[in-house]
Structures are given as structure tokens and as C-alpha cells.
Amino acid sequence: MQLIDSLYAVVARQRRRWYEATPTRRRRLKQPVVSIGSLSVGGSGKTPVAAFVATLLRDAGERPAILSRGYGRQKAVDGVTVVRDVDGILADIGQAGDEPMMLAHALDRVVVAVSSERYLAGHFAEARLGATVHVLDDGFQHVQLERDVDILVMQAGEFDGQSTLPSGRLREPLGVAVRAHALLISGATRSEAEVAGARLGVSTVFEFTRRLAGPVDIDPSKPRVPLTSETRVLCVAGIAQPERFFEDVRATGVTVVCELRYSDHHPFSVDDIRDIERKVNTTRVDLVLTTEKDLVRLRQYQPLPFTVAALPLFVEMVSESTFRSWLLARVESARRERLRG
């Protein structure tokens, strides 16, 4: 297996070098591109960070477009699917994929566009939807598209003892982290973050924390179930690291009676809904708590035979004003370079 890991690392490294050797191989959009990505598979917090960055840009007066490949969508089409424009949602989950649909529900006045070729999504967002800046969700390995700001998201200790796929979780060797303009690290002190930055060769480092927001009910017309120590909860998670969600739920103080794990991006079926209903009835729980990403995959089965709510994950920057100033300066610098070019 170690030989296969080494071969995978060599291929990943050569792929990146092939694009970097000749800049004309990389396509360039008219407006600045901010890439949010990770070196590892799943669970680093990329999508909440993408939502945070898009919100920051929107509130600064930009018209951001989030560009996604729409992983796992069941009704993929050629070209571009606009999941959301500035006025509202235009696609269903089969057309969008779960993470783009989650972003579309969460972010007002932010364009969300999906395409297997994200240059096309960005070009469409610029030409038809007035986008002034792009946020490339899960974009560190999407080297086909030129980016102006490359942000690498990681957890403290995430890379310790890790190797590349297929036996490890790394998509690329650690050495490519030096290409990032900044690291965003969760679960680390300032000194730990600086050590990680020095190890990876990235001088600009920001720390952030993961937080759970208040519950979002799938059916707001029903009475809300309060989250107290007496509330009996069944947890459902189909994400990369479900244990982290379960830990976060327990930290709210509710009584977690049962935990159901599914694979990341799991497409819930009618049989799954029946299984959850049976578990709800046999364990006598008051509420099913799930992730924001799972909630968008459950919506298609409304009305559900049990009460369900999501606890959305969001990020808080340790020094938001510093990060905001840094990001906006990078975007404005990229815009000036385009005008000079």
C-alpha cells in the first residue's frame, strides 16, 4: 500500500506542476477568484469557511458568486446550473448537490453556481448575474482555474502521521501547501497556528473556531422543541466526520439517546426515512437533530413522520477585522492588476 500511496503522491505533484509550468493552461476569469480548499479529504470546514468568506465579501459591497462542482448531484447536466441568484433558489437538490443547496438556503443575495468546469460557472455568473468576485468552494486542487487568493483550511494536528490517498487522507503531498496565500486553522492556539504555518511554509496564518448555530426546523409551522437536558435526541449525520457533530450536539446539554451514521453525501431513501422513524418510536425521542447538509437531503421527503431540526455549523475568526482587511486588500489588488493588464 505504501508503494501505491507514493505513486499517487507523484501523480498529484506532477499534475500540479504541469499546470504551473505553463500559465496559459490555466483559465482566468475577469473578476477576482478566492479559492477555499484543503489538503485532506472531508471534514476540514471548507464549506462553512466559503460561506463566511462569501458573506464577508457581500457585506463589503461585492456581488459574490460561489462556484462549486456540485459533487454527488443526481441530475447533473452539461454547462452551468444556477442554484441561486440574488433573488432566490432556482434548482432542486438533484440538480445542485447537497453542499451548494445548503449554501443557497443559508446565504441571501449570494449567487451559487454549479458546473463540472467551474470556469464556465464563473463566466456565466459574471456575464449574466453581475458577479464581481468568485468564491471557489473546495478549490485547492482545481488548478485548471487561476485564482488570486488561495486559502487552505485545516484543523490543528490534521496532518500528523497522514499519508496521501488511498490509505491516507491527503489529496496531495504536504509540500504543495506552500502554494497557499494563507492558512485558516481551527482548534489551535496562536503559537500552534504559527508553528503549523512555519512547518508548511505559509507565513500568513489565521485561527478560527467552529460553532453550532441555533436549531433550524425543517417545518417552521410546527412548535419548536426546546433544547434542554430533558430533551431526548436522535442524531443523524451523513458527513465526513460524524463524530464531531455528535460531540457538538452533546455539548449543547441535550440527552443523546441514539446516533445514526451514514456515508458522506448519503442520498437518503424512503427506506432510510422508515428506519429513522422506527428508531424514533422505539427510543421515544423528542427530536431528530441533524446537520445542515443532511437537512437539505431530507427536505424532499416532507412532511416527515418525525420532528427534525438542523444545527448549522458556522465559523468565527479569532481576529475577524484583521482577516477582513487582508482579504479585501488581496481582492482589490487583484482587481487593479486586471485593469493594468
Q: State whether the Cα torsion 314-198-140-154 is positive or negative.
A: negative
**Exposure string (b/e) for 269-296, b if CB count within 10 Å is 16 or more?**
eeebeeebeebbeeeebbbbbbbbbbbb
26 plus 107 within the same structural domain: yes
Q: How do residues 16-25 score in pLDDT, each as one tens digit?
A: 989 888 888 8
Contact 155, 187 (CB under 8 A): yes
Q: Is residue 5 part of a domain?
A: no
* Domains of the chain: total: 2
37 plus 142 within the same structural domain: yes
Q: Is residue 325 part of a domain?
A: yes
pLDDT at residue 1, rounded to an integer = 64
Contact 9, 162 (CB under 8 A): no
Report DSSP state, residue 206: E
298 plus 158 within the same structural domain: no
Contact 55, 101 (CB under 8 A): no
**What is the spatial distance between Cα 159 and Cα 177, in angstroms, rounded to a whole number?**
11
Contacts of 324 (CB under 8 A, 6+ apart): 56, 60
Average pLDDT on 50-79 reads 94
233 plus 330 within the same structural domain: no
Average pLDDT on 220-239 reads 93
Q: How do residues 269-302 score in pLDDT, each as one tens digit?
A: 999 999 999 999 999 999 999 999 999 999 999 9
Taking the CA of residue 106 as centre, how many other CA atoms within 13 Å lie in the half-sphere pointing to its CB? 27
CATH of the domain at 298: 3.40.120
Q: Is residue 4 part of a domain?
A: no
Average pLDDT on 73-89 reads 93
Q: What is the mean pLDDT of the chain?
A: 93
Write out the residue range of the structural domain in which residue 132 sits: 17-211+316-340
79 plus 202 within the same structural domain: yes
CATH of the domain at 189: 3.40.50
- Asked whether residue 41 carries a pLDDT value surpassing 90, the answer given is no
C-alpha cell at 112: 451559487
121 plus 156 within the same structural domain: yes
Contact 67, 122 (CB under 8 A): yes
327 plus 283 within the same structural domain: no
Please choose, from the candidates 309, 112, 157, 327, the residue with its C-alpha nearest in 3D space to the C-alpha of residue 226. 309
Q: How do residues 319-336 score in pLDDT, each as one tens digit?
A: 999 999 999 999 999 999
Q: How do residues 111-168 score in pLDDT, each as one tens digit?
A: 999 999 999 999 999 999 999 999 999 999 999 999 999 999 999 888 777 788 888 8
> pLDDT band at residue 4, thresholds of 50, 70 and 90?
confident
196 plus 306 within the same structural domain: no
218 plus 295 within the same structural domain: yes
Q: What is the DSSP string of 150-197?
A: EEEEEETTTTTT--BTTTSSBSS-GGGGGG-SEEEEES--HHHHHHHH
C-alpha cell at 32: 477576482
Report DSSP state, residue 250: H
